[in-house]
Amino acid sequence: MAAATALPFLAWARESTSADAAADASAKKLGAKNVLNVRDFELLAQQALPPAHFGYLATGIDDDRTLKRNEAAFGDYEIRARRFADLTQLNTGSSVFGSRWPLPIYLSAVSSMRAFHPDGEAAVGRAAASRSVQMMLSSGSSVSLERVLSERGGPVWQQLYPTDDWSVTERMVERAEKAGADAIVLSVDTTVTHEVRNSETLKRATRVDTRPCSACHKDNRHDMWLKAPLFAGLDVSRVHELTPPNMTLPWLRRLRDRVRGKLMVKGIVTGEDASLALQQGVDAIIISNHGGRNEETLRATIDCVPEVVAAVKRKVPVFVDGGVRRGTDIFKALALGATAVGIGRPHGWGLAAFGQEGVEAVLDIYSRELQAIMRQAGTPKLADITARSVLPRRA
């Protein structure tokens, strides 16, 4: 029986060819700087992690089709190559919220990163500092916000799972702002909780992992509010969900009134919801479907960019995450109107494979690839990347 239940996960986990596996093994010996592309870090992470921990990083829900669609949809857009541009000075930098970003990339929130490497989010913070990129820290971070801020040497965005207890929400916001987080990022795409969502890939991985969960999880429970440092010292006795069931517009307005600094909303995928959030005074919109982890809509986030950008009318920045695996993907997102892109799983892969150095290597690959396609497209600076730079592929 054990062998039979393992087969689907093992088949999924071994999609790479033997040649790819040999190449990745060679890359592991050569070091992070010699990994050829972002996707290659995935197999290295799989090799480094226990099955359940890799399954947690890899999983979507149901058939993982939305997860896969996020990535595949970038292939539905073509880039128009242009000639005769002056490329003597190439600049991938931009200004976001008044700060200079050398790359239009931020590290998106990923929970429990000590499951991938002993240094967890602290190593990610150091990598963000060394490459001067923005970092968003999950409410489920396994390293305290205070330590991450110290390693980062600058502000971070604090992602917020507000829970169904408003008093806990207030205390988390207060703690984050007091520590020095310069933005609160409310996730609104988690209305399906882990008790009911069908995370098949994770479940298959867990079945072939022989380690006792109690070694990592208190009382064998995986509830974030029982283990994450952001919840430490708070009365969570009345918490049952990460997201309140009454997260309506009045609830958002109440949070807006409570947050002193920037408030961003993560998980918007339609123009209608972007407009509604904007009316409540949010400072930015993040187009996201949680990496396909919570919904099986089959709609890729890159396909949501045009309507959200049109609804926002350039009043606030619009970011997008999900499926960004190449520099060309970043280019396409910017051409469709995004301010910058977030990467989640890829820096988790880099962390699992090589620690801080792996996260840095992932960012360096994105940077090189973005510079390469900007040259091919004749766009020496980000402002030159416009809607004219891409076309939808013909069926």
Tens of pLDDT, residue by residue over 280-318, are: 999 999 999 999 898 899 999 999 999 999 999 999 999
The answer on pLDDT for 97 being more than 90 is yes
The number of folded domains in the chain is 1
How far apart are alpha carbons 318 and 97 in whole angstroms?
A: 12
117 is catalytic: no
Residues present in the chain in total = 395
- Across the range 5-19, mean pLDDT stands at 44
Rounded CA-CA distance 263/250 in Å is: 15
Q: Which pLDDT score, from 0 to 100, does residue 17 have?
A: 45
Q: Is the pLDDT confidence value at 19 over 70?
A: no
142-156, 183-197, 305-319, 320-334: range with lowest mean pLDDT: 183-197
Predicted local distance difference test score (pLDDT) of residue 214: 57
Note the pLDDT of residue 27: 64
Q: How far apart are the first and last CA of the chain?
A: 44
CA nearest to 184, candidates 136, 126, 132: 136
Query: Over 50: is that where the pLDDT of 18 sits?
Result: no
- pTM > 0.85: yes or no: yes
Burial level of 26, CB count in 10 A (0-12/13-18/19+)?
exposed
Q: Pick the catalytic residue from 53, 117, 240, 290.
A: 290
Q: What are the start-end ranges of the H helices in 281-355?
A: 305-312, 327-335, 345-354
For residue 343, what are the domain limits?
2-392
Type of residue numbered 232: A
* pLDDT in the model for residue 216: 63
Question: Can you give the CATH number for the domain in which 107 is found?
Answer: 3.20.20.70
Measured CA to CA, the distance from residue 379 to residue 80 in angstroms comes to 11
Give, in order, the Cα–Cα distances in Å from 206 to each of 238, 268, 291. Answer: 29, 31, 20
Contacts of 317 (CB under 8 A, 6+ apart): 96, 97, 283, 284, 285, 339, 340
Q: What is the pLDDT of residue 112?
A: 94
Q: Other CB atoms closer than 10 Å to residue 360's CB: what's the count?
A: 22
